[in-house]
Amino acid sequence: MQQLKMYWKPEPTEFPVLPEGWSIRTGNGSEVDAQTWVDCCRHGLLGLQEGIEAFERCIASREGYSPDAVYFIEHDGEAVATVTALLDEEKTGNVHYVGTKPCVRGMGVGGWLNQIVKADLWKRGCLRAYLTTDEFRVPAVCSYLSAGFVPVEYDVEMPERWGGMLRFLGRTNVPMVDEAGRFVCVLNEYAE
């Protein structure tokens, strides 16, 4: 089964200002950062036994990769979350591997990660951005919808699958676009 796909039309976005004790840093391409990335993604996106070869396979080998496009959020000096903002030659962005350690889930870190990646892509001249996710990643889907990402119809099953997801979330009047970002329909239209 194909993943759900979401689209973002870039708009001016600033990097978030984090509370005391929290900070943002970019990657530097080191093996230490590769392991840090694995540690942030290990509980949900990667297997528990994955090593730094996962970073090469999932991030460093991807089109548009640059070490400074890998972001980490740190809490009291420890990296607790990561997101990567890939940007190809056609200025198409890909929000890739949004991962958090369990100890910070439910604390708003996902919203910060979305704002970081959007600010990065805006700053670098992104024209359109996408991400993919799975239905079982309900908190992530909520976070992406709140950040302004909208469902993409790229497969005949998508309206039905997205409709079910949005009904589960109690969301109505959500626009769906095609892969070019053109309006397709309104999902879970609510008539007053």
Q: What residue ranges do the domains of the chain occupy?
A: 4-187
> Which residue do the tokens 């194909």 mark?
2
Residue 120's pLDDT is: 97
CA separation for the pair 127, 32 (Å, rounded): 32
Q: Is the pTM of this model over 0.85?
A: yes
Matching CATH number, 4-187, of 3.30.1550.10, 3.40.630.30, 3.40.50.720, 3.20.20.100: 3.40.630.30
Quickly list H helices, 12-108: 31-41, 53-55
Quickly list H helices, 13-157: 31-41, 53-55, 109-123, 138-146
DSSP state for residue 60 in the 8-state scheme: I
Q: Angle between the 109-123 and 138-146 helix axes, to the nearest 10 degrees?
A: 50
Residue 38's pLDDT is: 95
Residue 191's pLDDT is: 54
Residue 186's pLDDT is: 95
Residue 1's pLDDT is: 76
Residue 33's pLDDT is: 96
> What is the chain's pLDDT, residue by residue, as a tens digit (192 residues)?
799 999 999 999 999 999 999 999 999 999 999 999 999 999 888 888 888 999 999 999 999 999 999 999 999 999 999 999 999 999 999 999 999 999 999 899 999 999 999 999 999 999 999 999 999 999 999 999 999 999 999 999 999 999 999 999 999 999 999 999 999 999 988 755
The amino acid that residue 97 corresponds to is Y
